Amino acid sequence: MTAQRACGVGELEQDTPLRVVIDDVAIAIVKDADDEIHAIGDRCTHGDISLAEGFVEGKTLECWAHGSAFSLETGHPLNLPAYEPVPVYVVTIDGDDVLIDPTVIKEV
C-alpha cells in the first residue's frame, strides 16, 4: 500500500490532535510546538480511549482517562498505567498534504 492523504497541513493546529481513520486504522496526528508533525496509533493501550481526545505536552500525547503520556516519537508510554506502546507511523509532507501509510510502522 502507498501513503494516503490523511489531512492538510493547514488543518493542523499546534498541540491540538486530529483523529483520522485510514483503511480502518485510527491515527492521532499532532503538530507539536516545533511544527513537527507526528502520527501515532489513536487507541490508548490501557483502554479503549482515543488519544486524540487527550493533551499534547511537548513531545507527548497524554491519555485523558488515566494520565499515561505516550511519546510522539517512539510511541512508548512514559508512565503507568499503560505499559505497551502505540504504533508510530511515517509522515510524509507533500505540499499541503499530510500523507500516511497505515501499514508502515516506523522503526524506533
Comparing every residue's Cβ against ligand FES, the nearest one is 47
- Which CB atom, from 43 or from 99, has the smaller least distance to ligand FES? 43
- Which CB atom, from 66 or from 106, has the smaller least distance to ligand FES? 66
- From the list 3, 7, 20, 63, which residue makes contact with ligand FES (rule: CB under 6 A)? 63
Question: Residues 27 to 46: which contact ligand FES by CB under 6 A?
Answer: 44, 46
Q: CA 30 to CA 19: how far, in whole Å?
A: 9
Contact 17, 28 (CB under 8 A): yes
- Which CB atom, from 11 or from 55, has the smaller least distance to ligand FES? 55
Query: Strands 25-31 and 37-41: what pairing?
Result: antiparallel
Cell reading at 44: 490508548
Cell reading at 29: 496526528
Cell 493501550 locates to 45
User: Does 87 help bind ligand FES (rule: CB under 6 A)?
Assistant: no
Q: CB under 6 A: which stretch of 15-23, 31-39, 62-70, 89-97 binds ligand FES?
A: 62-70
User: Does 56 help bind ligand FES (rule: CB under 6 A)?
Assistant: no
Q: Which of 45, 54, 50, 49 is nearest to 20 (CA)?
A: 50
